[in-house]
Structure 1
């Protein structure tokens, strides 16, 4: 079994799909690993470290490879060295790049989208969305703190007292929980909201104040697959009224709400931004999916009513070393969990295989893309 690790070509992508740590582990399974020179440079991993781990450094690692590991799906012209039946494993962005999925199918490649990993207990260690969202939630608070013109914690000095910053986190998934924890560590007064009622206890457990609509039912439990779904018009109106009353008193707002395969839900309007104090900061983690905040633009600082709105196209890529380490372990955990020693290759089971498989035998087979 030969694995290939490509240098990422997408603009702003600093991560790499394998590290020397995971290269050693794949070799221990009996695989050969070929790495494109410079693949780890942006994540501070020199070629010499891959070589020391046992990897082969070759200009085109896809030649003869049976599995290609990637962070973002490679363009078809980079995969000419692959034979039909080879696997592409990574974050493939299938909803936005249906053209690329079709091209992989036409080439006879089997594309496995790691972002389609089911949210089940045995797949937790394989979940790239969780590992990368954790870092994104942390980085969102750090970037907001940097843009905010005041201190986060309360400070009592001989010259007077500095009040703690007020931070409001909207959306309490993996990124939101890490944003709450980070803001608390920095000494802020933190509140948070979500449409899923089960998150109330999680918010409280982190020492933050839950802000919930009380008179209209939200989602009981965790929602489908651990994600929120779109709410009724009645709930959306009640949520907007609650947020409007709360957001005017906040210094920092972090928005994290996403619905897989859909545009990001709008959580904050321009009118609500206008109620915030000048100098306040909003970090929109959903900016690349259309944004939770009216007027947000990915990779630009937008100022409205004296409030700065930030958001990046690829927040985890701003922590390349840690993001790569976690991502690479996700991929190793996935392939090693299904490694057949006799066949010397991974053999997927039906539950996870059907969930992540986009293409097979020349066709697009994912129900999520065909449905």
Structure 2
């Protein structure tokens, strides 16, 4: 049983799919592990660290992927990767499958068995495999650090002989994993924090972290959560009422951090250009949803936009801005899932196709797209 850890083909992706710690665990399960030279460099892991853990170093992707039974990736494999992966090999990673029909077709035709880690069901057994939570947690933390850097002022209230520095006001929009961590981080840094979300269950979470909850709490709000714990799409009427409340609130804020996402849909537009215009010069908006179209009307992927003195930050791959920590958590997520695909007695790959985790995450198998949510649309 051979496991491969190639370097990411995207030069902007600093994370890696395994660490020395998880490699030792895979070897204990009976696997041999091949790592491409330099795969962990951007995450602070040296080649000799992988070798010390028992991995074999390969100079290029072709050698790393040769005859691999399992491939550990961060991002979906591209054509160059697929050309080197044998048919029926298992590829595990963040596949970003929504709206990627052509990429999924190419992956299926390559004959690989692809597992999309972000489709992992939110059940107790799968918590340790939840890449969305592990990476969003770091994104929430980093968003506050990045916003504070762009803000250019102190966050906590300071009493000095020269006068008092007022505490910064930070507003978090979207209280999922990233939003909760952003609240906690902003509070630790001494800011006055408020937050909003359409899911009623988040009010108690926000208040437990010492922040104030801001929302239109009507009957629709009380039913605005799916059974899986995600936000529902709200009616136009509710959106208008919430937008009016938020607009008045945003005008008083120093930093706004937006985190709202709906699985499989473009990011909801929460901050309009008029709202940005109402903010004081020197204020900052950091849009964590920029890769899905953005929560702010003026955000641009990979850019910091200055709109009349207000900075709109659209950094990409925010978890990757903490590459070492992000790789450590992501690698543990992958190990927790992949070890369920291995027979501990025979020390071979043995996928239980009836396992709920397998059925929920398997995208491609035997030359076809098998996940029901991503079937090719009829012509």
Alpha-carbon contact 1:170-1:192 (below 8 Å) kept: yes
SS in 1 for 2:84: coil
Question: Structure 1 stretch 138-147 or stretch 102-111: which is displaced more?
Answer: 102-111
1:132, 1:274 → 2: CA distance? Answer: 32
Alpha-carbon contact 1:267-1:292 (below 8 Å) kept: yes
Alpha-carbon contact 1:192-1:210 (below 8 Å) kept: yes
Task: Specify the alignment match of 1:68 in structure 2.
Answer: 71
Alpha-carbon contact 1:191-1:210 (below 8 Å) kept: yes
Task: Specify the alignment match of 1:38 in structure 2.
Answer: 38
Change (3 A) 1:119 1:213: same
What displacement does 1:108 show? Answer: 1.4
Runs ≥4 residues deviating over 3 A: 219-222
SS in 1 for 2:253: coil
1:146, 1:214 → 2: CA distance? Answer: 34
Match of 1:185 among 185, 188, 193: 188
Alpha-carbon contact 2:157-2:165 (below 8 Å) kept: yes
TM-score by length of 1: 0.97
The alignment status of 1:304 with 2:307, answered yes or no, reads yes
What displacement does 1:225 show? Answer: 2.2
Task: Specify the alignment match of 2:361 in structure 1.
Answer: 356
**In angstroms, what is the RMSD of aligned CA positions?**
1.4
The alignment status of 1:226 with 2:241, answered yes or no, reads no
Question: Residue deviations 1:334-370, cap 9 Å, x none?
Answer: 1123432134225244311111011111110111112
1:336, 1:360 → 2: CA distance? Answer: 19
Task: Specify the alignment match of 2:351 in structure 1.
Answer: 347
What displacement does 1:214 show? Answer: 2.3
TM-score by length of 2: 0.95
1:362, 1:219 → 2: CA distance? Answer: 44
2:135, 2:180 → 1: CA distance? Answer: 13
SS in 2 for 1:319: helix
Match of 2:153 among 145, 150, 163: 150
What displacement does 1:216 show? Answer: 4.8
1:128, 1:26 → 2: CA distance? Answer: 19
1:171, 1:352 → 2: CA distance? Answer: 27
The alignment status of 1:270 with 2:273, answered yes or no, reads yes
2:83, 2:140 → 1: CA distance? Answer: 37
Alpha-carbon contact 1:3-1:34 (below 8 Å) kept: yes
What displacement does 1:98 show? Answer: 2.4
2:144, 2:162 → 1: CA distance? Answer: 28
Gaps of at least 5 residues in structure 2 are: none
Gaps of at least 5 residues in structure 1 are: none
1:131, 1:215 → 2: CA distance? Answer: 32
Task: Specify the alignment match of 1:368 in structure 2.
Answer: 373
How many residues in Structure 1 have an aligned counterpart in Structure 2? 371
What displacement does 1:220 show? Answer: 3.3
